[in-house]
Structures are given as C-alpha cells and as structure tokens.
Amino acid sequence: MLEIQNLSKYYGKKQILHQVSFKLEPGDICGFIGANGAGKTTTIKSAIGLIPFEEGTVTIGGHSIETSPVECKKILSYVPDNPSLYNFMTGIEYLNFIGDVFEMTWEQRKEKIDYYGNAFNIFDRLNEKISEYSHGMQQKVALIAALMHQPKLLILDEPFVGLDPTATRFIREEFKRLASEDGMSILFSTHVLEVAEKLCNRVVIIREGHIVLDESMDAALQKYSLEDLFIDRMSQHE
C-alpha cells in the first residue's frame, strides 16, 4: 500500500534523509521510531506530498505521489502532531467539509460522525467552535476527519499526544480493527514505545536520516524489548 524507495531529502546542502526505503502491505500497523530530529516527520511529509524530495520514489496504492498526487490523496489520511484545523468552523462544520472533500453521502458521514463522535465522547460538543476546543479535543476532531472516509492508508505523527486514556485505548483498538477487518495500512511515529510494542506488527527505526531497522515486531522482539532495541540502535555508529 505504501512503498518508499531510496528517498533522499536535502535542506540546502545538508542531507536530512539518506536513501530511506521501507514498505507497508495492506493490514500492516507500523511503528516509525526515532529520536527527535531523526527524520521521522520529514519522511512522512515527503511521503504524502507536503514537501518535495530530491531523490527516490514514493507510491501509494500503486500511484506515484509525484505524478499522481490526487489519486494518492484520495486513499490516504494524515494527522500531524499538532493538527491545524479551521478555528472559525464548528466541529460538525469541519467534519462535513471533510465529507464534501471526499464526496461522502450524508448517510455515510452521519454514520461515521455518530460512531466516532460518541466513541471519543465529543459528539455533544461538535456544535461548538473549534477555537474553543482544547488541544485534546482538536486532536479527536482531526482523528475523526482522518477516519471517516475510510482511507486505505493512515499516516499519523504522534497520534496519542494530548488524548485522554479512554480515547487512547479506543484508538488503539480501532487501529487493530481497521487493519484486520478493512485491511487498512497504518504508519505512525511515536515516542511511546510500550504502545508501539503492543499495537504494531512492524517496526521501522530511523537514526540521523538512515533506516537502521525494518522488520516484523515479532522478529524485532525475539531478544529485546522495543525500548532496549531502540536504545541499542541509537547508540550504534555508522
């Protein structure tokens, strides 16, 4: 569903990503792990077409993000670590706007908004202005907007930051359900290694713009916990 091959990114003369390659199959839940500044967000933004890259290819559902960006974006959703929503809208206006973008019927969007709004315990507040929401509430609206059109690929940057424990537990279980029942591929960066260890079937570790681990979670955890493995890979030198 997502294939990144030899992705390199420069800012001026400084190379940020070095031949980054990995892929996700339908139904994969992949934890994208790295220290601050390792290149996680740059990789994600390059993969979804938010920023250009100098070398390599990215394909989503068989479409190139460079030559067929609209086809790619029809089947993916992205949630950044700090969602930027339209504060002048109410929650329900924003979600209906997203429904319009993805050409959802009223029946389809009502079903999803009811389901996720209640699951996140935010349904009764969707008529309030987004400007009045806390960071956690905005994160919930961003997650509903990402999930409501049933993307084939879901990419998230630190999705659990700001969520309360109930919402965190729900979204973990929902990721598992969407991957197993719908075949959704999910890539998320996180520093919460315990969550990644329990949730993901794949793990990719990036260090200083280089992929230093790309394998199944079961294989990765044969000898170490994910925390120990992460620290080991961060301490290694080129």
SS3 8: strand
* Domain membership of residue 121 as a residue range: 84-150
Same domain, 68 and 172: yes
Residues 104, 4, single domain; the answer is no
pLDDT at residue 238 greater than cutoff 70: no
Q: Which two tokens stand for residue 219?
A: 């294989």
Place of tokens 């290149």: 39
- Same domain as 160, residue 233: yes
Asked if the model's pLDDT at residue 234 lies above 90, the reply is: no
pLDDT value at residue 232: 86
Rounded to 5°, the CA angle 199-112-62 comes to 60
Domain CATH code at residue 192? 3.40.50.300
Domain boundary among the residues 125, 150, 175 is at 150
CA distances 72 to 75, 124, 149, Å, are 6, 33, 14
Average pLDDT over residues 76-101: 94
Q: Is the same domain home to 38 and 17?
A: yes
Q: What pLDDT sits at residue 171?
A: 94
Is 70's pLDDT higher than 60?
A: yes
Q: pLDDT digit string (tens) for 153-176?
A: 999 998 888 889 999 999 999 999
Boundary of a domain, candidates 119, 150, 181: 150
**Mean pLDDT score of the chain:** 94
Same domain assignment for residues 61 and 142:
no
Residues 199 and 143 in one domain: no
Q: How many helices (H) and strands (E) does the chain have?
A: 9, 10
- Residue 161 has a pLDDT of 83
Mark which of 98, 132, 150 sits at the end of a domain: 150
Asked if 170 and 141 sit in the same domain, the reply is no
- Asked if 172 and 204 sit in the same domain, the reply is yes
As for how many domains the chain has, the answer is: 2
Q: What is the pTM of this model?
A: 0.93
- Residue 191 confidence (pLDDT) above 70: yes
Least confident among 55-64, 180-189, 193-202: 193-202
Q: What is the largest CA-CA distance in the chain?
A: 54
